[in-house]
Every structure is written in structure tokens, then in C-alpha cells.
Amino acid sequence: MLELKTTQGGVEFRVKVVPGASRTGIVGELDGALKVAVSAPPEKGKANKAVLALLAEALGVKVAGLRIEAGATSRYKRCIVSGARVEQVRKALEQASQA
């Protein structure tokens, strides 16, 4: 099950990123982390920008409402959605992964 944690700034969760994929999308879940694939290459922050754009669309928030808290140069990242609740984030990500 996807691990979501309430923090002072919002909701925190881990993301496993597969950069350079043939298509961009939420793949599912892996070891408590959200697994996403992005077609952007892992260079000069392109994959990170693509991850934030994908998550913002899935969560129905602006990109400015998301941030990568840790793991900017790693495939595993810790992301925070500002001003959100765990139930909202879980529901939105479940719907997005089923689409």
C-alpha cells in the first residue's frame, strides 16, 4: 500500500521514477512508493520537472503546490503536496493509476 504521511507542509510520499520511458504515466506502486514513468531524460532536471507536472495533473493541483523534498538526483524521491490531506491524495493517485 502506498505510504502517505501528514507533515506540517501537507502530505509526503515516496516516488520511484523511471526516466526515459516510452510514455509518461503513473505505473502503480512498488514497496510503498508510487512508481511513475516519464519520457524525459534524467539530465538537467528534465525528469524531475516531468514528474512534478505528472503528479500535479493527477492530483489536480498546480506544479507550485508540489516539491521534491529529497532525492533530486536519485530514482527514489520524497515529494510533498502542500495543503493537502492524506485521503485526497490517496484517492487522486488511485484514480490516476487506474486510468
| Phi and psi angles of residue 58, each rounded to the nearest 5 degrees, phi first | -65, -35
Closest among 40, 77, 36 to 58, alpha carbons compared: 36
Per residue in 33-54, pLDDT (tens digit) is 999 999 999 999 999 999 999 9
Task: Please name each of the domains of the chain with its CATH number.
Answer: 4-98 (3.30.1200.10)
Per residue in 79-89, pLDDT (tens digit) is 999 988 999 99
Give the per-residue pLDDT at 50: 96
Strand-pair category, 4-7 with 10-18: antiparallel
| pTM of structure | 0.91
Per residue in 12-40, pLDDT (tens digit) is 999 999 999 999 999 988 899 999 999 99
CB 4 within 8 A of CB 12: yes
